[in-house]
Amino acid sequence: MAGQMNQPIFILSEGSKRTRGSDAQNNNIMAAKAVAASVRTTLGPRGMDKMLVDSMGDVIITNDGAAILREMDIEHPAAKMIVEIAKTQDAEVGDGTTTAVVLAGELLASAEELLEDGIHPTIISDGYRMAAEKAKEIVAKNAINVSPEDTEKLKKIAMTAITGKGAEANKEILANLTVSAVTSIVEKDRNGKVVADTEKVKIEKRTGGSISDSVLIDGVIIDKERVHPNMPTRIEDAKILLLSVPIEYRKTEAKSEIKITAPDQMLGFIEQEEAMLKEIIQKVMATGANVIFCQKGIDDLAQYYLAKAGIIAARRIKQSDMERLSKATGAPIVTSFDGLSEKDLGKAGLVEERETSGSKMIYVTGCEGTKTVSLLLRGGTEHVVEALDRAVEDAIRVVGVALEDQKVVVGGGATEIEVALRLREFASTLSGREQLAAMKFAESLEIIPQTLAENAGLDPINMLTEMRAAHENNKKCDGLNVYEGRIENMYENNVIEPLRIKTQAIGAATEATIMILRIDDVIAAAKQAPPAPGGAPMM
């Protein structure tokens, strides 16, 4: 009986790994800190760049935290949770991804010290949660109002987002284009609240020319050309048809075989195909359409008939472009040729094919539907254009958020120092061990100005000491000028960011940190062996 009582019981499959208690917490914290450390050197205008090479050999050079973490092949589950912070920050605001990730790494490092002192993870989580709520409240209290009509302030916000992303030399040109693009698509909802749907701003890239050649187009640019050289290159008062079905003869859905025993049968078969195509073209022409954008293919014979009728047609249009065209022109995306009518057409003042850097693009302007604009970015090399694309995309999102919230805060680490100072005062009002967690939270916020100083080659201790002294004297806008190595008023230096960047970063970093801290048991299933070449599993 005694032997049976001591018999081991297996509840996990063979090969599974289980890590418990402090070992699990330490492993998770270590992995998350490693991810944060990998992007920390990219923070700020003086941050360094990363070169990312994928499995195909394609090279990306960037200091955008979201882009770096997206390209990194990360396996550790806790590390993936840190990557999710960057994705969420990028989706919600468009900028501040590195700030959020670095803050999460520092919060976990501070929590590690508290765990070593014997403080329970639940207590740390409660303290962090209270500190995060208070931090958001302090940031909102110190926010500065910005009017949607104040384009100069919006340009400064755009320039702050562009700075440090490889486009500083032309940040004024890009900021002007960005603000013009976003302000032109702004609308108000039923309650009078400003809504900036940045999906209505399309970015197209072209190598060749200089950054100063970048332009804003009032309409939609389609990176395609006419399918037939005999089609017109320009049509005014365009009547546009959007098709998600191919302009080809219908093939049988089931596999079929046709036996032809005589030449006249072959001729009849070809004539039947032509008749089917002619019927489709006649249905299209009956609507009065003179411009066709097709998401699928267009048969060679159909191209000939369309060209003969003086219709511009483009094929293989992306789904996102079809949706933009639909919004801009008011044309629905047609899924069948049956029942086609004039009601299925959209309108535009001009559809024109233009040559840009040796390749042709179709410009759809003078649209009567929802306001849609396109930014054509130009640059000397592919890497320059890609860097411009990332910088402008962030700037567009940031300006949109600033217009919606109409609240901004100062950058340069000034906001973090001010919040850290007030959080220490708040922590002293707490009782119990949560006070220690709140104090550590305040201390962790200072990692942002500290990193800015380190990345600029400055002494972080001296800079932090000077900033704390300035904020003690109620200079709430004083932050680090990384170019001069001095503590200056960031609002006067035009270093301003939307309020949502800070609140989102604090919220996302805190939530991810708490989730990682509450894990005390990691059970990893055994990895399956890859299948053998013959299809049988490998032993």
Q: What is the per-residue pLDDT across 496-517, written as a single tens digit (0 to 9) for each? A: 999 999 999 999 999 999 988 8
Q: pLDDT band for position 357 (50/70/90)?
A: confident
Burial of 306 (0-12, 13-18, 19+ CB in 10 A): buried
For the chain, residues classed under CATH 1.10.560.10 are 15-145+409-524
CA 447, CA 33: separation in Å to the nearest integer? 13
What confidence category does residue 267 fall into, taking pLDDT thresholds of 50, 70 and 90? low
Looking at residues 461-487, what average pLDDT do you find? 90
| pLDDT tens digits, 14-67 | 555 656 666 777 788 888 888 888 888 888 888 887 887 877 777 777 777 777
Six-digit token string for 146:
């910005």
Average pLDDT of span 268-277: 67
From 42, 62, 88, 97, active-site residue? 97
SS (H, E, C) 403-443: HHHCEEEECCCHHHHHHHHHHHHHHCCCCCCHHHHHHHHHH
The pair of three-digit structure tokens given for residue 248, joined into one six-digit string: 């080809």
Tens of pLDDT, residue by residue over 156-171, are 888 888 887 766 677 8
Using the 8-state DSSP alphabet, how is residue 172 labeled? Answer: H
How far, in Å, CA of 161 to CA of 95, rounded? Answer: 7
Q: Taking the chain, what is the end-to-end CA distance rounded to the nearest angstrom?
A: 37
Strand partners, 373: 201
Report the percentage of the chain scoring pLDDT > 70. Answer: 87
The distance of Cα 399 from the centroid of its chain, to the nearest Å, equals: 14
Q: Is 394 a catalytic residue?
A: yes
Could you tell me the pLDDT band of residue 538, with boundaries at 50, 70 and 90? Answer: very low
Is the CB of residue 208 less than 8 Å from the CB of residue 358?
yes
CA distances from 80 to 103, 257, 273, 358, 515 (A): 16, 52, 54, 42, 12
Q: Answer for the pair 54, 71: CB distance below 8 angstroms, yes or no.
A: yes
* DSSP secondary structure, 451-517, as one string: HHHHHTT--HHHHHHHHHHHHHTT-TTEEEETTTTEEEETTTTT-EEEHHHHHHHHHHHHHHHHHHH
Using DSSP's 3-state secondary structure scheme, residue 212 falls into helix
Q: Is 465 a catalytic residue?
A: no
Average pLDDT for residues 309-321, to the nearest whole number? 91
Long-range contacts of the stretch 333-338 (C-beta < 8 A, 24+)? 333/242, 333/243, 333/244, 333/295, 334/241, 334/242, 334/243, 334/244, 334/245, 335/244, 335/245, 336/245, 337/245, 337/280, 337/283, 337/284
Query: What is the pLDDT, as a whole number, of residue 255?
Result: 60
Instruction: Please list the helix, strand and coil fractions of the chain in percent, rounded to the nearest 5, in that order.
Output: 50, 20, 30
Extract the runs of DSSP E, i.e. beta strands, from 3-142.
Answer: 17-20, 50-53, 59-62
State residue 536's pLDDT score. 47
Tell me if residue 182 falls in helix, strand or coil. Answer: helix
Output 460-464 pairs: Cβ under 8 A, ≥24 positions apart.
463/487, 464/417
User: For the segment 169-219, what is each residue's pLDDT rounded down to a tens digit?
Assistant: 778 888 888 988 888 888 877 777 878 888 888 888 888 878 888 888 888
Largest CA distance in the chain: 99
Query: Per-residue pLDDT for 400 more than 80?
Result: yes
Element (H, E) at 355: strand 345-356
Which member of 62, 64, 160, 299 is catalytic? 64
CATH topology of domain 15-145+409-524: GROEL; domain 1 (1.10.560)
88 is catalytic: no
| CA 9 to chain CA mean position, Å | 49
Tell me the one-letter amino acid at 311: I
Report yes or no: 111 and 124 within 8 Å, Cβ to Cβ: yes
Burial of 189 (0-12, 13-18, 19+ CB in 10 A): exposed
- Number of continuous H segments (helices) and E segments (strands) in the chain: 17, 21
Q: Is there a contact between 115 and 22 (Cβ–Cβ < 8 Å)?
A: yes
* 97 is annotated as an active-site residue: yes
The Cα–Cα gap between 286 and 289 comes to 8
Residues 6+ away with beta carbon under 8 Å from 370: 200, 327, 328, 330
The strand pair at 215-217 and 219-222 is best described as unpaired
Residues of the chain with CATH 3.50.7.10: 219-379
Mean pLDDT for 337-362 is: 87
pLDDT tens, position by position, 448-469: 999 999 988 889 999 999 999 9
Q: Are strands 234-243 and 291-294 parallel, antiparallel or unpaired?
A: parallel
Output the CATH code of domain 219-379. 3.50.7.10
pLDDT digits (tens, 9 = 90+) for 7-26: 665 555 555 565 666 677 77
Is residue 395 within 8 Å of residue 196, measured between CB atoms? no
For the chain, what is the mean pLDDT?
A: 83
Rounded CA-CA distance 294/379 in Å is: 30
